Amino acid sequence: MKLEPLVRKVLKLQDNGFSIGIWGVTHPVQDAEILRAKEYCTSLGIDFRTKEFLGEYNGRMYGTYCYEGAGEKKFNKHVLCKTTELIIGSSGDIYRCHSDLYEGRKPIGNILDENFEIEDRFRECNVFGHCNPCDVKLKTNRFQQFGHTSVEINFKY
């Protein structure tokens, strides 16, 4: 991506009263370039924030995760898990977590089923260790406060 055309567009939107910013992912290959772009944009009054790269690159896991080993795919552990998000697939199926959605595991219901009730409760999981990074990463919440994670895991099962 070329930064200058984006910067011009963001400044134009800001000049017209819009609240806008730029997010960049600090991938190992692009880390230095993203940080230079942040410094440049910040000097122009543009809100530029970074997000950690999550996942594996060149055999190394990147990101800050709430539960050690959760996404390393080295073991399976039986736990109880509760998500703070409603995860709905394209067919309307509802899943416990992103890992279930992406791995094609059985859904817990369907949004179109009039008898389905959304429950804020822990559910059994026998694939802890194969979690999707977006479920177990430490991230900012809707108030931009760092330390939120999408799932709560109970290991005392």
- Per the rule left: phi > 0, alpha: psi between -120 and 50, beta: everything else, 104 is left
Q: Which of 69, 89, 85 is nearest to 129 (CA)?
A: 69
What is the per-residue pLDDT across 93-119, written as a single tens digit (0 to 9) for each? 999 999 999 999 999 999 999 999 989
- What span, in angstroms and rounded, lies between the C-alpha atoms of 128 and 76? 5
The residue to which tokens 């177990």 are assigned: 136
The residue to which tokens 């799932």 are assigned: 151
DSSP strand pairing (151-154 vs 77-83): antiparallel
Which sequence spans correspond to the domains of the chain? Answer: 3-53, 62-154
- DSSP H/E element including 136: helix 133-136
User: What is the 8-class DSSP label of residue 85?
Assistant: S
Q: Which of 136, 119, 113, 86 is nearest to 95 (CA)?
A: 86
- Pick from 58-62, 125-129, 143-147: least confident: 143-147
Identify the burial level of 126 via C-beta atoms within 10 angstroms of its C-beta, where 0-12 means exposed, 13-18 middle and 19 or more buried.
Answer: exposed
pTM of the model: 0.72
Q: What is the pLDDT of residue 157?
A: 67
Q: What is the pLDDT of residue 140?
A: 79
